[in-house]
Structure formats: structure tokens, C-alpha cells
Amino acid sequence: MQRINKLGLALLTAFGTLGTAHAADIKLGVAEALSGGAAQYGVSIRNGFQLAAEEINAAGGVNGNKLALVIEDEQGKKEEAINVFKKLIFQDKVLMVFGPTLSNSAQAADPVAQAAKTVAFGTSNTADGITSIGNYVFRNSVTEADVLPATIETVRRKTGMKNVAVLYGNDDVFTKSGYDNFKKALDDQKVPVTTTETFAKGDVDFKAQLTKIKGTNPDAIVLSALLAEGGPIMVQARQLGLNVPVIGGNGMNSVKIFDLAPGGASNNLWIGSPWSIENQTPENTKFIAAYKAKFGSAPDQFSAQSYDALYIVAQGLKNVKLTGDLAKDRTALRDALPEVKWSGATGPFQFRQAKDRAGKPAGYDAQQAPIVSVTKDGKYVIEK
């Protein structure tokens, strides 16, 4: 029988066991939407975590301890995200929690982690205000406020765009925040808006809004949407003869757009993100090859960000001496993470501290430069 050292016994006491988990496993919670409409993001996110965990553990783990992921489906629903966070934190006694998938859910569930003094680490939440919840809230997903101005500037420079029409989802924290940041960027760059139209989650027919947009003869469409609505919007826009550039936010940055808007319907979609499948750095090339080998499909921004997130946490854990006292270990990880610098699939990364509504230091956002890409014939092409 393998000998269990004192550290292993302490961790066993602190974290319990999980299936075939070893005594020295470090349990990390993963709360993602693995079913429902947001699963098109959540499954990719889970895949990125699993790939990174396998690589880290195969290389000896963290200070000799293996990482054990405790994965739960939060279904892309606020209430379920709260329930899953409570289960992972209080019942499974994980060291920290990754997720949830959507900004709506993060706004609801992250306060649970903050109150429990447990790190909540978002890899796909880009709406304003997430990290203002508190100093245990982290994310490596770059905010829309940081990305959208660069995207708009690039489209103006590359296409000569003079004005835009705006279309956004008005019943979702992410898409509404995207609209707010698009509006600010357009105002700052003095780009006139010909019309502003809205839709709701679950809508499938966007022809009325798109017909109004076409009537204003815009040079481009600014679209703040998730893929479930964004894909059909692009298809219907092209059917109506609206073949102008579409400037999308974080929710549209996925290779799944080529399935949801097949053929030429997905062309001329402009996206800003720290990650691109066409970015041929050694770290990204390695990640893409490993992901394709394991899952038989191409990765997207969301799997890249979760992959990097686990490596970021692993780097933080290297500087944490786990004691077996769960409360102390959770706080020690929180204290270690802000100092982490990492260069992975999404490029060079470090945290910057956010502020709460009163202007006091709060959680931590990503500090990364965006890459602007445009879709052409089923591929993302980087624009300089």
C-alpha cells in the first residue's frame, strides 16, 4: 500500500475523497453549463479544464499533489449556479470554484463564494461588475470594456466604416453589458448609430429588426448576442441582403458559428479576443494540437481560457503551503493568485485589481491585449 505522508493525511481530512481520488488530491470545483443553451460554451470550458488537469497531473501535479476536478452542471441558470456553488463549497469542500459559464449566473452565484471566503474564478464572464463583488472573485476572461473599442477601431480602419446599426439582447447581463460598452466605444470614436434594435433570449425570428436595420443603410451591424441568437441573426441578415460587416462581442467568438451560420452566412464577422485559433505561438500551437487529439474537434476561445485558468491556479498553488485547514488554505490561494504571471494559449497574462461600487479594491480582472479577427470561408483570420 502506498505510504501516505503527513501532508497527504491533512489533505484527506480537509478535502475528503472523490471516487478514486488519492489522499493528496487537491479538489477544485468546476461549475459549468453542460446542458441547456449555454452548453455550447460550457462543454468547451469543461474540455479545457480536463485537458489541462491531465497535463499538469502527468507532469507530477503541483508540489507532488494531483489536481482533482469536481465537475457539476449548473445548466446556465442562475438558481442552479447558486445551488452548485453551495454544494461544491460546503458539501464537497473544494479548495476553490471555477465558473459559472454565463455572466448572469456569475452575478448570482459569486456572492456565495465571496461570503464563504472561497475563490470563484470565471473563465467566460466578461460583463461589467463581476469582480466588484469582492476580493475572492477572479476572472481571466477579458472584459468587453477592454476588447470592444479595439474591435471597432480595427473595423473602421480596415473597412472605412462610417456608421453602424446596433442589435442587442436586452434581457441578459452579458448582452446588455456588451451593448453598454459598444455604445461607449462608438460614442468615444464618434461613430454614428443609424438605429438601435433589441431582442430577447429564445427569440428565433429577427427579420423585423433586421428589416428596420436594412432600411437605415448602415455600413456595419454591431451585435451583442450569445451564439444561440447570434447564429440565426447572421443567417437571416444575409438572407435579407445585409452583407455588411457584423461586429460581435465575446459571445460570438466560437468556431461553432460556422455550424450555426453555414456557408457564406458566417463571413465578415469581426471579433476581438486575446485568443485566436490562428495565433501561432508555441503555447497555442501545443494547446490546439493536444485539444484536437483528445476531443477530435477544434478548440475555441472558451476552452483556451479554461485551459489557461487551470495553469494559472496551478502556478498560484505552487506558492501555497497547504495546511489541511480548509479556511486557511482557501485564503492562502486567494492571496497567491494576484501575483501569478503566465503565458499560455491566450498569450501573456496577469491580473489587475478591480474596484467595487464604492471605489474600494475588490476582485481581479485579466490584463491582456486583444487580437482582432474576421471570419472568411469557415476560418478566423487575424487582422493587424
Distance CA 165, CA 194 (A): 5
State pLDDT tens for residues 340-354.
999 999 999 999 999
Q: Does residue 161 share a domain with residue 64?
A: no
Q: Which helix (H) or strand (E) holds 269?
A: strand 269-273
> Would residue 211 count as lying in a domain?
yes
Task: Count CB atoms within 10 A of the CB of residue 24.
Answer: 23
- What are the DSSP calls for 132-145, one per residue? GG-TTEEE-SPPHH
Q: What is the pLDDT along the chain (384 residues), one digit of tens a residue?
A: 334 444 443 433 343 333 344 446 999 999 999 999 999 999 999 999 999 999 999 999 999 999 999 999 999 999 999 999 999 999 999 999 999 999 999 999 999 999 999 999 999 999 999 999 999 999 999 999 999 999 999 999 999 999 999 999 999 888 999 999 999 999 999 999 999 999 999 999 999 999 999 999 999 999 999 999 999 999 999 999 999 999 999 889 888 999 999 989 999 999 999 999 999 999 999 999 999 999 999 999 999 999 999 999 999 999 999 999 999 999 999 999 999 999 999 999 999 999 988 899 999 999 998 999 999 999 999 998
Quick check: helix, strand or coil at residue 190?
A: coil
- The burial class, CB within 10 Å (0-12 / 13-18 / 19+), for 320 is buried
Q: Does residue 225 share a domain with residue 164?
A: yes
Cα 287 → chain centroid: 17
Domain encompassing residue 221: 145-273
Task: Count CB atoms within 10 A of the CB of residue 4.
Answer: 13
> Would residue 376 count as lying in a domain?
no
Q: Does residue 250 share a domain with residue 229?
A: yes
Question: Can you give the pLDDT at residue 185?
Answer: 96
Q: Does residue 354 share a domain with residue 318?
A: yes
When divided into structural domains, the chain yields a total of 2
Q: Which residues are 53's β-sheet partners?
A: none
> Would residue 14 count as lying in a domain?
no
Quick check: helix, strand or coil at residue 90?
A: helix
Q: Does residue 297 share a domain with residue 233?
A: no
Q: Does residue 152 share a domain with residue 134?
A: no
Strand order across the beta sheet in which 120-122 lies:
67-73, 26-32, 97-98, 120-122, 137-139, 361-367, 347-355, 341-344
Q: Does residue 138 share a domain with residue 96?
A: yes
Q: Does residue 335 share a domain with residue 221?
A: no
> Would residue 5 count as lying in a domain?
no
Distance CA 100, CA 75 (A): 9
How much is the pTM? 0.89
Residue from 38, 168, 172 nearest 104 by CA: 172
> Would residue 356 count as lying in a domain?
yes
> Would residue 119 count as lying in a domain?
yes
Q: Given 273, 303, 333, which residue is the final one in a domain? A: 273
Q: How far is CA 382 from CA 186, 271, 281, in A?
A: 22, 10, 13
> Would residue 64 count as lying in a domain?
yes
Q: Does residue 153 share a domain with residue 134?
A: no
Is-contact 128 176, C-beta < 8 A?
Answer: no
State pLDDT tens for residues 309-364.
999 999 999 999 999 999 999 999 999 999 999 999 999 999 999 998 889 999 99
> Would residue 101 count as lying in a domain?
yes
CATH assignment of the domain containing 198: 3.40.50.2300
Q: Given 273, 301, 331, which residue is the final one in a domain? A: 273
The 8 Å CB, 24+ separation contacts for 6-12 are: 7/65, 7/322, 7/324, 9/324, 10/322, 10/323, 10/324, 11/65, 11/322, 11/324
Q: Does residue 332 share a domain with residue 217?
A: no
Ordered alpha helix ranges (H), the chain? 6-15, 39-58, 78-86, 103-115, 144-159, 173-188, 207-215, 227-239, 257-260, 282-295, 301-317, 326-336
Q: Given 242, 273, 304, which residue is the final one in a domain? A: 273
Q: Does residue 198 share a domain with residue 347?
A: no
Distance CA 91, CA 100 (A): 18
State pLDDT tens for residues 16-69.
333 344 446 999 999 999 999 999 999 999 999 999 999 999 999 999 999 999
Q: Does residue 129 share a domain with residue 159?
A: no
Quick check: helix, strand or coil at residue 307?
A: helix
